[in-house]
Amino acid sequence: MEINEWKKLLIPYEQAVKELKLKFENIQNEYRKLDEYSPIESVSGRVKKIYSILEKANKKGIPINEIEDKIEDIAGIRITCQFVEDINKVVKLIRERDGKDLKIIEEKDYIKNIKPSGYRSYHIIIKYPVQTAHGEKEILAEIQIRTLAMNFWATIEHSLRYKYNKNMPEYIHDRLKRAAEAAFILDKEMSKIRDEILKAQELFETKSNIVREIFKNIQSLYNISEIKEAGELYKKFLILWEEGDIKKLDEFNKKLDTLAGIYGVQKL
Ligand code: 0O2
């Protein structure tokens, strides 16, 4: 194939990479604008180099006229996430678009089924329609979704694999396997931290809701002049607040609810 034919062939792939990258960046920006946590940490994309396409075609015995149907990653998008849990969210976001602006052809879960090299990542192969000057063209693209730790390992392993070109010394191979294990443990540790953060946020939310209810009750009781103990109740609340025991605060609030019921106080 002549260089001009390659150029023509790759144009829709370049367009697809640009469009898909922008679409995922838009999702990320939308979360950020709404002050919400974005499961997408970063997005990158590339069109496979001609020599890499030829190398892969050669390795897999794919004739040149079949590369567009048989090489799925001429267009590639990589989405990195902070936590393993975010990967599922991104996969869900992509599945929701299936049949809309893209078609899912295959999903490859190398997180459940780790590759012998130690490689972990979630791949989704899609068909994506591109509007070109010569009409619509549907191309194949690969979306790789992985954590920062998975990406770090894969980037290093990829460059070493190219450097040694199938002659990787055994000791480097072993080190990479151990590094893959370390990246796996790092992801697990980060997930535990994430759980702790979520639990702490939940606890904070519960506590602030109870305190808000207590304040409403005390304020309502204050508004009824006969209730002298409202001042005492406030003092009691301050003591419980100092203690910080959420259960005691909740019990106290329930007592206030009962008292408000007895006095027929309308909650504010
Ligand atoms: P590049 O240079 O990143 O484009 P296979 O027949 O299984 O070897 P296939 O059918 O293309 O390969 O699909 P697969 O396994 O899903 O791999 C597609 C891409 O995933 C690869 O593209 C890599 O980017 C990445 N990948 C897969 N396995 C490994 C691995 O062990 N280490 C690293 N670092 N990346 C991997 P290319 O074309 O191989 O490379």
Q: How many CA atoms lie within 13 A of 254 on its CB side?
A: 6
Report how far ligand 1's centroid is from the alpha carbon of 118 (Å). Answer: 12
178/4 Cα distance (integer angstroms):
45
Q: What is the pLDDT of residue 226?
A: 59
- Could you tell me the domains of the chain? 3-168 (3.30.460.10), 170-268 (no CATH)
119/206 Cα distance (integer angstroms):
41
Task: State if residue 8 touches ligand 1 by the CB under 6 angstroms criterion.
Answer: no
> Residue whose CA is closest, atom 2 of ligand 1?
52
Q: What is the pLDDT of residue 92?
A: 98
With contact defined as beta carbons under 8 Å apart, do 149 and 176 qualify?
Answer: no
Report how far ligand 1's centroid is from the alpha carbon of 138 (Å). Answer: 22
> Residue whose CA is closest, atom 7 of ligand 1?
115
Residues annotated catalytic, as ranges: 142
Q: What is the pLDDT of residue 267?
A: 63
Task: State if residue 56 touches ligand 1 by the CB under 6 angstroms criterion.
Answer: yes
Mutate to test the pocket of ligand 1, among 47, 119, 126 (most ligand atoms within 8 A of CB): 119
**Amino acid identity at 7:** K
DSSP class per residue in 49-89: PHHHHHHHHHHHT--GGGHHHH-TTSEEEEEEESSHHHHHH
- CA-71 nearest atom, ligand 1: 11
Give the chain's residues under pLDDT 50: none
Q: What is the pLDDT of residue 199?
A: 82
